[in-house]
Chain A
């Protein structure tokens, strides 16, 4: 199974952009890159996903490296409600959705 590597933790100031990196050097051609986040005492929440091209939605942007061996989740203006654990996951199929330890994002007011 393709694995991902993320920093354990990151800090950001409120209303500033946040770039959350993910390395996935063994990604296969059919693997989608998914991002989920988990707020305290909640189940994980979908953020965004993509295959090759950069993606934007109302929550975030996903920048995918040209060789697809890394990607970056971008929160354009962090708010206190964005404090969560962010998971980068690879999968050709949903049943291969394995979570790692994720990145714990702290947002400072």
Chain B
């Protein structure tokens, strides 16, 4: 079975451009997370979905960041008017349940470079 798939793997955007990053979680997984990882840092939580409901978006750094998961499977992270400080690896993870007694599966990430 396929793991968590993210696309594109690499994205170069000009400052001010809008970008959309896609995450295909493992089929049937209830929980989906987005993280931002700057070079040399640990992943920083952005947002969490339980099925189609976005239960926590406290980590989104600004209103330029928007995430959705309309049918409870595929999720898209959209960044509007990209800035250089948005350059990072964006990681998506999914897990089968919502409790802590389970593991999360991560994708390989999308490396975004804003020039």
Decide yes or no whether A100 CB sits under 8 A from chain B. Answer: yes
Contact, CB under 8 Å: B108 / A43? yes
Q: How many residue pairs at the A-B interface have CB separations less than 8 Å?
A: 67
Taking CB atoms, residues of chain B closer than 8 Å to A51 are: 101
Taking CB atoms, residues of chain A closer than 8 Å to B97 are: 94
Contact, CB under 8 Å: B95 / A94? yes
Contact, CB under 8 Å: B107 / A95? no
Decide yes or no whether A31 CB sits under 8 A from chain B. Answer: yes
Contact, CB under 8 Å: A100 / B42? yes
Contact, CB under 8 Å: B106 / A94? no
Decide yes or no whether A44 CB sits under 8 A from chain B. Answer: yes
Per-residue CB proximity of B4-27 to A under 8 Å, as 1/0?
100000000000000000000000
CA distance A92 to B43 in the complex (A): 19
Extra pairs beyond A44-B93, A91-B100 (18, CB < 8 Å): A32-B101, A36-B104, A43-B93, A43-B107, A43-B108, A43-B109, A44-B43, A49-B101, A51-B101, A87-B42, A94-B48, A94-B104, A95-B33, A96-B100, A99-B43, A99-B45, A101-B41, A102-B42
Write the residues of chain A forming the contact surface with B, with a CB cutoff of 8 angstroms. 30-32, 34, 36, 41-46, 49, 51, 85, 87, 91-102
